[in-house]
A and B are shown apart, each in its own frame.
Chain A
Amino acid sequence: AQTVTQSQPEMSVQEAETVTLSCTYDTSESDYYLFWYKQPPSRQMILVIRQEAYKQQNATENRFSVNFQKAAKSFSLKISDSQLGDAAMYFCALGETSGSRLTFGEGTQLTVNP
């Protein structure tokens, strides 16, 4: 069975600073996908960034980047130049290629302080 663990229930960061959210996972698959989703107070799930496990290069989307350590099964999200609009619940998710399911972590609530 797949598992996703986010060990930080809450994090805070000062506006314009950098913050890193942690995620570890476990899977028996050799090929899979990893995602970070953002859920603001509206509760709409928004995709932030994705990483294919077969790619060694870490994904980057503007101020968001990941540190993907496949051997360690670690997938952290770095947010640079944090903005007030980044405040949200962030979920790490693992998708298997042999099936069609996404497994989510419990989330990290990010607060951005002005």
Chain B
Amino acid sequence: SQTIHQWPATLVQPVGSPLSLECTVEGTSNPNLYWYRQAAGRGLQLLFYSVGIGQISSEVPQNLSASRPQDRQFILSSKKLLLSDSGFYLCAWSRGNTNTEAFFGQGTRLTVV
């Protein structure tokens, strides 16, 4: 069966510090991978998605970047965090070459102080 791991679960970082959130998927190959951000009580905003290694599409210009160094690994990064980067970040995967449902990780609550 397929599983998705996302860590850390919570993170408190000072303004100006770097960020690295990691997500890995097991039990499938060539998945589509996604990073979403969710503000409190709101819907999900797609930040990045990837259909293959090294292929990253950005949906929203911002202070963040994403990378996919391996087929089942997706990393969200920032060189210098802003207060506005605080939020709940969700990684997700879906089966490549078909548009089926997305399966989500448990999320990371990021607080920038």
B-contacting residues of A (Cβ < 8 Å)? 32-33, 35, 42-45, 47, 50, 89, 91, 93, 95-97, 99-107, 109
Contacts and interface: CB of A to CB of B under 8 A. Distances in A.
Interface in B65-113: 88, 90, 92, 94, 99-104, 106-107
Contacts of B32: 100
A100 B46 contact: no
B99 A95 contact: yes
Given A91-B43, A95-B99, A43 B49 contact: no
25 contacts: A33-B99, A33-B100, A33-B101, A35-B101, A43-B107, A44-B104, A44-B106, A44-B107, A45-B90, A45-B104, A47-B103, A50-B100, A89-B41, A95-B100, A95-B102, A96-B99, A100-B32, A101-B34, A102-B94, A103-B46, A105-B43, A106-B42, A106-B43, A107-B41, A107-B42
A45 B90 CA distance: 9
Contacts of A50: 100-101
A96 to B, nearest CB: 7
B57 to A, nearest CB: 8
Contacts of B41: 89, 107, 109
Q: Is the interface of B mostly helix, strand, loop or mixed?
A: strand
Interface residues of B, number: 24
A91 B44 contact: yes
A107 B43 contact: yes
B101 A100 contact: no
B23 interface: no
Nearest to A43: B107
A84 B72 CA distance: 36
B21 interface: no
Contacts of B51: 100
Contacts of B44: 45, 91, 102, 104
Contacts of A103: 46
Contacts of B59: 101
Contacts of A43: 38, 88, 106-107
Nearest to A89: B41
